[in-house]
């Protein structure tokens, strides 16, 4: 007796369900897409950049899962970020909000800004003039000084500075507590980050709140998405450093 073939719609539903489960698994344990909504990481990241974040880089916490269920505390398969990593994390003051900044301080580090220069454990991060930052990625023209900053571990990246006497260019020395990191934006005078302990600031970031490391820009545009002439093709598939 011939077996009855499943109906076409049932096969379609099964295919969709399987595809959805695979997508959820990839998003949970491997890579998750994010987009950049603000100018706090200019010039490294521009408004309108879309990027992949590796979920496995620092291990997994409840924030690695969709909807952040409280299945466990802390991290499993945990590893510390490196100074200089660009990381996505949940804002400590509102765990439904994602932030992206550069990790500059690890547990036990002493971090301070003096005259716009970043100090880590008493050692100044070297700054080399590198022209100007001209745009924030939204089409708005800006003009601030651009530097190449070298962290004590040798990691190099670009930063923007309007001046060396803005609000967070001179700070007290912060001692990063155990289980936390210190994160700041590359657009130093236009970033709410770990230098800010006020109501809208970030303060120290718990390791549990880390989602992953930003790896690569896979798409970038300025203006409405449908305007292909405003796609920034030169940024496609750029590694994030």
Q: Which of 38, 55, 101, 191 is catalytic?
A: 101
Q: In whole angstroms, how far apart are CA 170 and each of 150, 161, 183?
A: 19, 13, 16
Q: In whole angstroms, how far apart are CA 218 and each of 37, 95, 129, 215?
A: 15, 26, 29, 10
The Cα 150–Cα 132 span in angstroms is: 17
The Cα 47–Cα 221 span in angstroms is: 8
* Cis geometry, peptide bond prior to residue 43 (ω within 30 degrees of 0): yes
- Strand order of the β-sheet with 141-150 is 126-135, 141-150, 156-161
5 is a catalytic site residue: no
101 is a catalytic site residue: yes
Q: Which of 38, 40, 64, 191 is catalytic?
A: 40
Q: Would you please indicate which residues are annotated as catalytic (active-site) residues?
A: 40, 101
């Amino acid at each position: 007796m011939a077996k009855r073939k499943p109906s076409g719609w049932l096969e379609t539903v099964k295919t969709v369900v399987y595809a959805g489960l695979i997508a959820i698994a990839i998003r949970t344990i491997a890579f998750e897409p994010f987009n950049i909504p603000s100018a706090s990481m200019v010039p490294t990241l521009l408004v309108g950049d879309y990027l992949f974040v590796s979920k496995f880089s620092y291990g997994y916490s409840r924030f690695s899962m969709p909807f952040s269920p409280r299945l466990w505390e802390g991290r499993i398969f945990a590893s510390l970020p490196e100074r200089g990593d660009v990381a996505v994390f949940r804002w400590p003051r509102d765990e439904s909000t994602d932030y992206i900044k550069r990790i500059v301080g690890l547990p036990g580090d002493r971090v301070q800004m003096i005259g716009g220069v970043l100090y880590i454990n008493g050692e100044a991060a070297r700054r080399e003039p590198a022209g100007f930052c001209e745009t924030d990625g939204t089409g708005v023209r800006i003009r601030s000084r651009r530097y190449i900053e070298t962290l004590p571990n040798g990691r190099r990246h670009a930063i923007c500075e309007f001046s060396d006497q803005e609000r967070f260019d001179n700070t007290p020395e912060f001692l990063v507590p155990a289980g936390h990191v210190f994160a700041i934006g590359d657009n130093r005078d236009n970033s709410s980050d770990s230098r800010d302990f006020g109501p809208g600031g970030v303060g120290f970031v718990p390791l549990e709140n880390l989602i992953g490391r930003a790896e690569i820009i896979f798409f970038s545009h300025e203006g409405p998405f449908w305007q292909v002439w405003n796609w920034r093709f030169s940024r496609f598939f750029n590694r994030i450093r």
